[in-house]
Structure 1
Amino acid sequence: MKLASTGSHILRAIATGVAVLGIGVAVQHTTAHAESVNSYISSQKIGHATITKSIWSGFPKYKYRNGVGKPEGVVVHETANSTSTIYGEIAYMKAHYSNAFVHSFVDASRIVNIANTNYLSWGAGPAANQRFVQFEQVEVHSKSAFAHQIANAAYYTAYLLKEYNLKPNDAAYDGKGTVWSHNAVSKFLGGTTHTDPVGYYASAGRKYFGQAYTMAQFYQQVKRQYNLLHGSSTSTYAKATYQKGSGSETAKLSSSYTKYRLYNHIKGTRATKKYTWTRSKAYAGKRVYIDEIGTKTASKSKWYRIRFRKSTSAQKYWVYKKALNFGTLTFNKDLTLQKTVKTTSNTATYNHIPNTHYLSKSVGSTASLQGQTVNINCEGIRTIDGVQTTWYRVVPTTGDPYWINATEFD
């Protein structure tokens, strides 16, 4: 719905005390090389955003015509506002919910659920309001953003159908189904005259993909996502094994990092979403923090999960190993050394040398070894930016070997 705070119009009708929102469209006419949006989503392995639950308690709670938690389908809307943002739309809706509100908002990178979907909203006329969950799409302005938004909207529609034990059924042809546009509501149920998201889909499709995008094509994407959720997809994804590290290890972006991309999952292991480096202010030599390594089962290629801030709550991305620089690691093996741990030593011991491509975990502390002489069978030297650190692998009488920094020995 196009919000009044940004030069909008809102259709209001009252039916049994419930306000109704109509939704408009804005159409642009530009051309691009013809390409299917759905094919682009598949070829680029575009995934979907995680649903953010941000339920506002201020919305009223009225049951659907069949009862609480019993919607009969989903209505797909579009805001018809080329300048609004998802959080601007949400803020205005909260302030004016008596006129109209929907359950959720979707853009290229977010799915934000603001109203409990077990209760009705009012955004498409009295007949639709008492039957359907409803969500808005905020207009986006690039080829990638539109494809990601469609992927998010299709996933969310499929998710809602699965959540309420409904099967996909396109209502566009006979007014009987579970997947509705506002246009179909206007055509078959009445109480509103708006046609979104038909115009927005057509315009964005022509502008960014060279051909109009349609609700029929969107419905096919919904079915694909529904099948994925039910485990009946014909897509074959690569398998991978995972190993967590301490979570605080670091590496640097390599000189060739721009040849690779950031992903929300290891590329090829599932439907993935990719990101550009510019959003993270990346540059060669920038320090990143690593908490997990993934190895593709067939190709044995290595991938690392990184973040750009030390905080473990920072957004995480998967990158191919060549995007990272761990420095060099050399070993002097088959040593038969004995060294004595300093009486003041109190630092962690590790299963691997930290801050290397192996990733490591703390397995103990040198505090329990103070003053003791230990047996060593390997020396490891890590070099990055000309700085060397030396580590020794200790072989205990019982248990697994572990690594101690050379500075902890006399």
Structure 2
Amino acid sequence: MKETQKRGIMTAVLLTLTLLVGLLVVKTPSVKAEAVNSYISSKKIKPAGITTAIWSGFPKNDYNKGYGKPEGVVVHETANASSTIYGEINYMKANYNNAFVHSFVDATHIINIANTNYLSWGVGYPGNGKYVQFEQIEVHSKSAFAHEIANAAWYTAYLLNKYNLSPNDACYDGKGTVWSHKAVAQYYGGSTHTDPYGYYMSNGKKYFGQGYTMAQFYQLVKKYYTSIHVKNVKYTSTNLTMDVKSTPGHDFYNHVPESKYTTKRVHYGKTYAGKTITVNMTGKRDGTGTLYYRCYYNGKLIGWIYGGGLAKHVSYTTTSKTMDVKVAPGNNFYNHVTSSLYNNKLLHYGKTYAGKTVTIDNVAYLDGTKTPYYRCYYNGKRIGWIYGGALGVQVTYKTINQTKTVKAVPGAHDFLNHVTASKYTVKRTYYSKDYAGKQVTVDNIAYRADCKVPYYRCLYNGKIIGWIYGSALN
């Protein structure tokens, strides 16, 4: 065959192929790349509710950590393009000895068939003892796939919330609470399955122009978890007066955050910084030691605030007195009353002034605390606020030489190593009844600043037996 003929034939063949390819391209529908999660959001797709259809025939075995204590959720896919949700459920009931899961999900259903407080066996050992498991049915349209993903992600979030588990993607490092069957097989063994990886990739490409991944699924789970994460709150009526901290760090809300109610901020905490408010109810949220408080200012409800934004109410009174710092004070000096609305910082250690006499110009009573706080000065210099338990009554001592008799009925006064309420640590040395009617010598008298009757240091047969309150002596 001549060269020119060959070239003519080749040209004709290429032209024909080009036309065929063009026709194929024209006939193939275009698929716009769009993220599944964005589609679910833009279409405002609402997850289906859970249909409970527990079958009593499934085995009841506890998880590794006990009844009702799964450690996460495993997402499956049936790998059966022609099955239906009810067909799969019926098949599983008939063949549960081989494998079974807790629930099934498709575009319009979330059907729970086995008690999630007990384990199922869908991933082999050891995953079965750790995780709640559910299957997804294969669906065959863009809308159906988006609805199914929404149902599956919401149900995963629901289970995490139900069992007080925080979302944590386990598919990339084998540590967490949200698992694919593929990830369990990869990190634990027990099977060789890879679902729902292939199903997500193929349907994502087919209907959205890009493969869908477990990482994207996990992001949707987190979003749903945030919206449904609800903690139980125990409410208690009360009647308190408290102060909003000078830098509260928390705001006021219409309800306790993360409770069953929809919550919104009603006031910034800083708006009421330093104000005194009243409280008529507290709310204790599960897992939170600090209470929430429902607050009023000038009789008007301003909302719920976390207790860390409030402080006990403090009442201040001007005074003028002298006291002694205890020899073992156990408390320190601060710029403000501790636990009050102000930010506190340490000014001086109490032991620095142990045994010293200080003057006081202000006393503060913290609500619920009997012992007050005192603002102290030493040699005219302010050294700060200290808890009253670190101070003792000022005592004036004088040497004397007298003889007295212990009353026959000395009362509730015994002999002590030091004057009560003084700066010294006090302990009983002898019972007064053991010396009732005895004659003692006194070598020292002590006058407490807050008491008219003095104390006496007594000796019996030349031996010091201790200090006693004057009314116990004749």
TM-score normalised over the length of structure 2:
0.43
Relative contact order (alpha carbons < 8 A, sep ≥ 6): 1 or 2 greater? Answer: 1
Normalized per residue, the structure richer in strand is 2
TM-score normalised over the length of structure 1:
0.49
